[in-house]
Structure 1
Amino acid sequence: MDATIKNSWDLKEEIIRLRELEKVQGAAIKQHFNSPAAVFTTVYSLFPKGNHSGENKSNIFNQDFVSIISRFLIPLTLNKTLFKNSGFLVKALVGLVSQKASGYVNEEAVGTVWDKAKTLFSHFTKKGPVEKRYPYSM
């Protein structure tokens, strides 16, 4: 509320009102942080609430295990290998880009890649019947 201040009495009244408002808001903040459960509830309320059907992946609590691990593993791996001797800004940009890219990594995508790799390797390791491999065996 913006009060119009016309004289010194109005200014003093506004200062008193603001100090009382500060006390009330300070008590409310202390109430939010007076126990570990209250701290957890306050921090959890900062995250956006979405449907938990699996379609909304913007919230970290809605992601699967592979997505959460990839959010930390991809930037760490890139900064320790490819961008090892890079400066702070390059590493920060790599971190930001890889955080966005890790949103596409989930259990389904990893499972699909794993199945394709298994199929590819099974073609190389597939062996025929024993008679074809050892035609002169006893």
Structure 2
Amino acid sequence: MSKNSYAINNLHDLQVRMISLKVDYKMKEVALKEDVVVYAKQFTPGHLFKKYFTSSSLLKTDDKLNLTSKVMSMALPLLMNSTIFRGSGFLTKTLVGLATSKVGKSLDASSLTSIFNSVKGLFGSEKKKEKASAAYVDYGIPPDSETF
């Protein structure tokens, strides 16, 4: 017979050991549940969106795959032909399609963001100019000075 590593000599020692094993079991269960929750949160759509669709990760992906220029080279001719050159003939639409596809290939994510920011600045600058003209002009003279 082999001896066990537990020092159980009577019924009280056995009950104490059983309670300690149950406590260990419950603690491990709680820890395992918390780990499962943390692991499952890694694969929620919100977490995946935050992880992979940040501006820096999109710019890195675009630098590697050049997705923006590919999309723009296909979307820009369709957009131009369906809006501005709607009533034009076949030859005009073909020339516009070739020209805009070449322009679309030269566009990347950084140029698109700079174009967007410049257009946004054109529309947002009017409010700032109105606020700047109504502001108090400080000439550097303190208001409690004798020069007033």
Instruction: Indicate whether the TM-score tops 0.5.
Output: no
Which structure dedicates a bigger proportion of its chain to helix?
2
Bigger radius of gyration, 1 or 2?
Answer: 2
